[in-house]
Amino acid sequence: MIRNWKFVTMGRFLPAHFHANAFILFAFSFLKVYRSFVIIKLKEGEIVALGAYRVREGSVAVYIAYIESQPESNPTLTKQKKYRGIRKAMIAFGIQLSIDANCNGVVVFEAKTDELEQHYIRDFGARPVASLYPDGPKTFMIADQVAKDIFSSYLF
Amino acid sequence: MKEYNKDFHIDFSPMTDETMSWLDELLMTCKRFNVDYYNASEKDRAFVEAVARKNYGLKQAHANGKAASTVAPFFGIHRAG
């Protein structure tokens, strides 16, 4: 049961090509910010993306534990994208959480497919991190200048 | 790598607690040795990864009541005795 959660402002992460009033963004977290969840939902009720983030005590990075989005926003699945910038917005929220949690904007996540791996490396500047198991999903990190660039793209 | 499931459209793989514990160990090792993992050379990365694997293995062995000798040696160096 979710208790003590609160809404936080996500407005700045709305991709520029969306009409701001067309979207409802929910971002909520537990008071101690151990877990945060984000849901991006259209007013008509369509859920565009959802994500879960973890801030672990003593950790130096925020873990993007899970992100799921509309297939129409996936550049590896469709050439004519219906939604753009969803994944970047979800990563930017992780960077904000990371800075809030004294982790300097470092975020770590696991890519689902080989195609998405290349997308994260090429388009987001993600770099690989040693995985616990060689056969498991590949782990990636976004930090430093790249994290700053992603977050800054929503500032003005 | 799992095959992409078009019904779910998952972008980021669900991350387990075990993976997060491993990454905590790795990133804390980087901090201890002043290694900026994101910008580190291959050599520095190999070093901190090996230290982190050893430490993580020792912690896991301790938690599961196994002997420290069951953990793979650091860069193949066996302790005498």
pLDDT in the model for residue B65: 92
For B46, the closest chain A residue by CA position comes to A130
Residue B5 in domain: no
Interface contact flag, A67 B10, Cβ < 8 Å: yes
Q: How far apart are CA B8 and CA A45, in angstroms?
A: 18
- Chain A contact present for B69, CB below 8 A: no
Residue B34 in domain: yes
Interface with A, mutate which of B2, B4, B11 (most A CBs under 10 A): B11
pLDDT in the model for residue A7: 41
How many domains, chain B? Answer: 1
Q: Which residues contact B64 (CB under 8 A, 6 or more apart)?
A: none
Give me the mean pLDDT over the B50-66 stretch.
93
Q: Which residues contact A100 (CB under 8 A, 6 or more apart)?
A: A33
- List for chain B the helix, strand, coil content (%; round to 5): 60, 5, 40
Which of A110, A114, A144 is nearest residue B12 as measured by Cβ atoms?
Answer: A110
Cα angle for residues A9, A13, A17 (degrees, 5° grid): 135
- The parent domain of residue B48 ranges over 17-67
* Inter-residue contact A93 to A53 (CB < 8 Å): yes
Q: What is the pLDDT of residues B7-46, one digit of tens each?
A: 446 678 788 889 999 999 999 999 999 999 999 999 999 9
Residue B32 in domain: yes
Taking domain A5-152, whether its CATH number is 3.10.450.50 is answered by no
Q: What is the pLDDT of residues A44-100, one digit of tens each?
A: 666 777 788 888 888 899 999 888 777 665 556 566 666 677 788 888 888 988 998
Residue B80 in domain: no
Residue B36 in domain: yes
Residue B49 in domain: yes
Between these two residues, A11 and B76, which has the higher pLDDT value? B76
Note if the pTM is more than 0.80.
no
